[in-house]
Amino acid sequence: MAISTADFKNGLTIEVDDAIWRIIEFQHVKPGKGGAFVRSKLKNLRTGAVQDKTFRAGAKMERANIETRKMQYLYADGDNHVFMDNDTYEQIELPAENIKAELKFLKENMEVSITTFGNETLGVDLPNTVTLKVAATEPGIKGDTASGGSKPATMQTGLVIQVPFFVNEDDELVINTTDSSYISRA
């Protein structure tokens, strides 16, 4: 389905130059001299790269039909990771290099959204927060909280984040998946 720049919305997916892009933000510009144009910031859904692109006002392009399915992360099988569709029980395998950033937050039986374009899997969308167990951290020293500082902690998935001094090993923590920050104890 062809759309024009007048149909742009944040989050819309389009096909340009044989790539699939999600519109992060856009702005219609009408200069005093010359034709109007649309300045946009796009994210490539295959590579994750963010790029600024400019389109003439009224330019036509194809809309990419992206499908999102709820799936459950089952287990790692060598360099592949297995996910199962909650409705059809169909299983898919994704190579580790395609989901490197997401692996730091994935734990078994966790529910995620898988984004697909046709038969091609584009990526894994994590929930905004995940609960992970602290695997290793240094013990907090009493009276060491005057500055409200933090210490590094390694989570069960291998993720290393900064946490407050009162956090101990085996604590369950709520972590923000967008910036890998500590939110609270679970």
Banded pLDDT at 48 (limits 50, 70, 90): confident
Question: Is residue 144's pLDDT more than 80?
Answer: no
**Among all chains, which residue has been given the structure tokens 């994935």?**
106
Torsion sign over Cα 126, 127, 133, 135: positive
DSSP state of 155: E
The residues, any chain, with a CB within 8 Å of residue 89's CB and separated by 6 or more, are none
Range 2-63 has CATH code 3.40.50.1360? no
Q: How far apart are CA 144 and CA 89, in angstroms?
A: 50
Give the H or E element holding residue 186: none
Express each pLDDT in 167-182 by its tens digit.
888 889 999 888 888 8
**Residue 151's pLDDT band (boundaries 50, 70, 90)?**
confident
The CATH H-level superfamily of 129-185 is Nucleic acid-binding proteins (2.40.50.140)
- Residue range(s) in the chain whose domain bears CATH number 2.40.50.140: 66-125, 129-185
CA dihedral of 75, 80, 84, 89, whole degrees rounded to 10: -110
Contact 71, 111 (CB under 8 A): yes
This prediction has a pTM of 0.71
Most distant CA atoms of the chain, gap in Å: 67
Give pLDDT, residue 42.
Answer: 93
Q: What's the pLDDT score for residue 60?
A: 92
pLDDT (0 to 100) of residue 145: 58
Overall CATH class of domain 66-125: mainly beta
- Predicted confidence at residue 177, as pLDDT, reads 86
The pLDDT > 70 percentage for the chain reads 95
Three-state secondary-structure class, residue 15: strand
pLDDT for the residue numbered 95: 87
pLDDT, position 142:
65
Letter for the amino acid at 146?
Answer: A
